[in-house]
Structure 1
């Protein structure tokens, strides 16, 4: 098997996850060195290892180097099989990142799949389960991908314990899409999730969002998670335009006031609302790979992040596509073509 040689020094776990996905989708093996090389703790952490082992299982892959802390990995895929799968990070490691690793390969499988994923559902450095449900999966649906998704149990760092149930329908051919105009603003809505903490914290966050964004500050938008497996707090803002939906998250943390959490989140939402791009920064990173699998597509966004650029360079090693960054207004149009 021909092996694609990759260097993970400049990227985080996203480069590894993208390589796993593309390897399963194309049948090309890869070898990656210096995994997460510039991180404070380089190498495979538990959530990365879960993604590797899960990818190996659904794709019948041969893997060398799949152990905690490993900085090199060799992955030789087999044929992807649909079916019923259950994967757990064994920690608060992100279940949503494991899902994004497996999903493109499973929608290319010949038969449907179900996934039960355990771990963190609302992590500071990963897409929240609400983002997956309300922004990422609707964007994929425009390309023809049909996925059932439910949050059975919320899981926050550091306790974890979250559970996601997912059903994947085969999709042999993706429809190229353009996400270039978001349309008129339809609504801005907020909610706050609390686990094992006083609801007054969430109410204070919600009040800041009400003052800054005009959302409804009614206490019914503060939800207490049951059972509370550990302390956790996330404020979520959904911005709905006629042609596009984005979800933004702000996570509570020790030593940071509720007002600061709300203000940071409001700043992020306002930057998006005042900008020209259709797709916000986090979703732009995640649309690259399915657009490349479709062979064409485009979107507008406010900035070309290093995550976006490094992911594009990696995708081009696996697929016969090219990415072009075209200045447009105060931002960029990203174009994908064969």
Structure 2
């Protein structure tokens, strides 16, 4: 089996997850050392291990070193198999990151699949379930991917307990797609999720978003999560343009006022709106791998993040594609080609 050697100190958990996805999709194995070496707690944490085990099950893979705290891993993929799968992080670790790890392999399978994912659904350092459902999956749909997500139960850090149900249809060939223009602004909508905390906090966040973005501050946009498995708070802003939808989030945390949460989130949205790029920073990074699997595509975005650059270089190790980015209209245009 072809094997690729990877240096895990060059990135975090994303480098590992992208390698797992690419290995499943290409049949090329990999070994990785110094996993997350630059992080405060190096090695595989629970959500990373869940992603490894999920990829191994979906791809009938052999793994060596798949255990908590491991700083080296060998992954040898087999044939990807469609089916009904259930994966749980056993903590508030992100369920959406596990989903993104196995989703491309499952849409390449010959039959439909269903996933039940348990863990965190709204984590500060991961895409929210709302982002996946309303930004990521619609972008993939333009490329031909048919997948739906249902949020059965919210899960916040540190309690977790969230549940996602995902259905994936086969997609043998992805279409080349250009995310170059977002079109005219259609609407900006905000909502706040509260779990086990006073709704007044959410109302204060919403008021700041109303002042800075002009969204509707009506109390109906504050949603109490039931059952409340633990304290949690996330404010979400959907920015809808004629050709694209992006979702931005801000998370409540101890020692940070509701006004600060709202102001930070408004700043993210304003930065996006003031630029000309179609795709926000986080989504731009996540669309690289699907575009590479399609063999071509392009997007415009406001900045080239370290995540995007490192992800592009990793993808080029597994697939016969090349990424390029050039300054474009105050931002950047990213292209992938064979």
**Shorter-chain TM-score: what band?**
over 0.9
Gapped regions of structure 2 (runs ≥ 5): none
Q: What is the CA–CA distance in structure 2 between the aligned matches of 1:32 and 1:289, rounded to whole Å? A: 19
Following TM superposition, by how much is the alpha carbon of 1:329 offset from its aligned partner in structure 2, in angstroms? 1.3
SS of corresponding position for 1:217: coil
Q: What is the CA–CA distance in structure 2 between the aligned matches of 1:325 and 1:60, rounded to whole Å? A: 36
Q: Does 1:163 align with 2:163?
A: yes
Following TM superposition, by how much is the alpha carbon of 1:149 offset from its aligned partner in structure 2, in angstroms? 0.8
Q: What is the CA–CA distance in structure 1 between the aligned matches of 2:10 and 2:77, rounded to whole Å? A: 24
Matches within 5 A, 1:1-338: 1-338=1-338
TM-score between the two structures when normalised by the length of structure 2: 1.00
Gapped regions of structure 1 (runs ≥ 5): none
SS of corresponding position for 1:125: coil
Q: What is the CA–CA distance in structure 1 between the aligned matches of 2:313 and 2:6, rounded to whole Å? A: 11
Query: Is the Cα–Cα contact under 8 Å of residues 303 and 332 in structure 2 kept in the other structure?
Result: yes
TM-score between the two structures when normalised by the length of structure 1: 1.00
SS of corresponding position for 1:178: strand
Q: What is the CA–CA distance in structure 2 between the aligned matches of 1:51 and 1:134, rounded to whole Å? A: 23
Query: Is the Cα–Cα contact under 8 Å of residues 137 and 148 in structure 2 kept in the other structure?
Result: no
Following TM superposition, by how much is the alpha carbon of 1:148 offset from its aligned partner in structure 2, in angstroms? 1.6
SS of corresponding position for 1:300: strand
Following TM superposition, by how much is the alpha carbon of 1:145 offset from its aligned partner in structure 2, in angstroms? 0.2
Query: Is the Cα–Cα contact under 8 Å of residues 119 and 155 in structure 2 kept in the other structure?
Result: yes
Q: What is the CA–CA distance in structure 2 between the aligned matches of 1:152 and 1:118, rounded to whole Å? A: 10
Q: What is the CA–CA distance in structure 1 between the aligned matches of 2:43 and 2:8, rounded to whole Å? A: 9
User: What do the CA deviations read for 1:50-90 (whole angstroms, capped 9, x no partner)?
Assistant: 00000000100000000001010000000000000000000
Q: What is the CA–CA distance in structure 2 between the aligned matches of 1:300 and 1:270, rounded to whole Å? A: 17
Following TM superposition, by how much is the alpha carbon of 1:182 offset from its aligned partner in structure 2, in angstroms? 0.3
Q: What is the CA–CA distance in structure 1 between the aligned matches of 2:337 and 2:182, rounded to whole Å? A: 22
SS of corresponding position for 2:249: strand
Q: What is the CA–CA distance in structure 1 between the aligned matches of 2:101 and 2:265, rounded to whole Å? A: 27
Q: What is the CA–CA distance in structure 1 between the aligned matches of 2:302 and 2:58, rounded to whole Å? A: 36
User: What do the CA deviations read for 1:252-307 (whole angstroms, capped 9, x no partner)?
Assistant: 00000000000000000000000011001000010000000000000000100000
SS of corresponding position for 1:6: strand
Q: What is the CA–CA distance in structure 2 between the aligned matches of 1:295 and 1:145, rounded to whole Å? A: 15
User: What do the CA deviations read for 1:190-236 (whole angstroms, capped 9, x no partner)?
Assistant: 00000000000000000000000000000000000000000000000
SS of corresponding position for 1:309: helix
SS of corresponding position for 2:9: coil
SS of corresponding position for 1:9: helix
> Cα RMSD (Å) of the superposition?
0.4
SS of corresponding position for 1:68: coil
Q: What is the CA–CA distance in structure 1 between the aligned matches of 2:83 and 2:77, rounded to whole Å? A: 17
